[in-house]
Amino acid sequence: MTQIIDGKAVAARLRSSLAARIAQLSFKPGLAVVRVGEDPASGVYVRNKDRAASEAGFASRTIHLPESTTEAELLAQIAALNADPGVDGILVQLPLPKHIRSEAAIAAVDPAKDVDGFHPVNAGKLASGLPGLVPCTPRGVMHLLAEAKAKLSGARAVVVGRSQIVGRPMAQLLLGADCTVTIAHSRTADLPGECRRADILVAAVGRPEMIRGDWVREGAMVIDVGINRMPDGKLKGDVAYEEALPRAAAITPVPGGVGPMTIACLLENTLEAALARRA
């Protein structure tokens, strides 16, 4: 029987264990989320983060700046949060309006408060095998692999997608767990063939059902990071789920797989940043 990995349940357990740890502290770890402009999807994400953070006992605040905010104004806001002792974690919601360079905003966040793990210092630490803040979605995937009792040491892992946010840090985490890692992408010569070699297949391409069932090795673990909104409003992953299901040993559904882990790991990063800053 294929194991369907219940990300919603794993995320709920992680959030309640964080809440229990926070209840023991003499302070509330602080999370600041900065949103610029009116991207509707960002509005939903930011509200969900704020609610989850408050429920778990964080001091959460959202700073919503107008679309007309200049890059200099955003950097000044980030500098103020860097200097604020009550703020342990800063997240600048992406995408930003086109006139603001996201790399400038990311680089402006104090690496010790960079709970997205996007700052080049944290990306460099991860690539060097040093401790630092790790991007939330790949961190969530590692929790799900642990939940599914994946044997990582020596396993062949194939990550499809090379983004800064998921693919690259995902590959680094799997390498750190002693997998033999391949990063495949849109220019990979034989993508189905690369996928068929995978004991652990992580799909993070952002194209609905691009990974077909016959690309999945019998007994592989399949982690689907894709969240693709279809014209009918439904969500689809990057993996053709029904096709892959009978072949996989374990698989994450969409929705209810990786998605719920991202916010839980944001909270985990914020608690970690808060404890490290006070150590």
Instruction: Show which residues are catalytic.
Output: 49, 93, 116
The answer to whether residue 122 forms part of the interface with ligand GUN (CB under 6 A) is: no
The answer to whether residue 116 forms part of the interface with ligand GUN (CB under 6 A) is: yes
Closer residue to ligand GUN, CB minimum distance, 202 or 248: 202
Rounded to 10 degrees, what is the CA torsion of 173, 24, 62, 140? 20
Which stretch in 88-96, 138-146, 155-163, 222-230 sits in contact with ligand GUN by CB under 6 A? 88-96
Closer residue to ligand GUN, CB minimum distance, 46 or 179: 46
The answer to whether residue 92 forms part of the interface with ligand GUN (CB under 6 A) is: yes
Q: Nearest residue by C-beta to ligand GUN?
A: 94
The answer to whether residue 115 forms part of the interface with ligand GUN (CB under 6 A) is: no
Distances (CA, A) of 68 to 45, 46, 78, 272: 21, 19, 16, 34
Touching ligand GUN, residues 133-152 (CB under 6 A):
136
The span from the CA of 150 to the CA of 144, in Å, is 9
The answer to whether residue 93 forms part of the interface with ligand GUN (CB under 6 A) is: yes
65-70: Cβ within 8 A, 24+ apart: 65/34, 65/35, 65/36, 65/37, 66/36, 66/37, 67/36, 67/37, 67/38, 67/97, 69/36, 69/37, 69/97, 69/100, 70/99, 70/100
Distances (CA, A) of 60 to 28, 32, 51, 75: 9, 6, 8, 20
Shortest separation between residue 41's beta carbon and ligand GUN, angstroms: 8
The site map against ligand GUN for 206-245 (x = CB under 6 A) is ----------------------------------------
The site map against ligand GUN for 188-207 (x = CB under 6 A) is --------------------
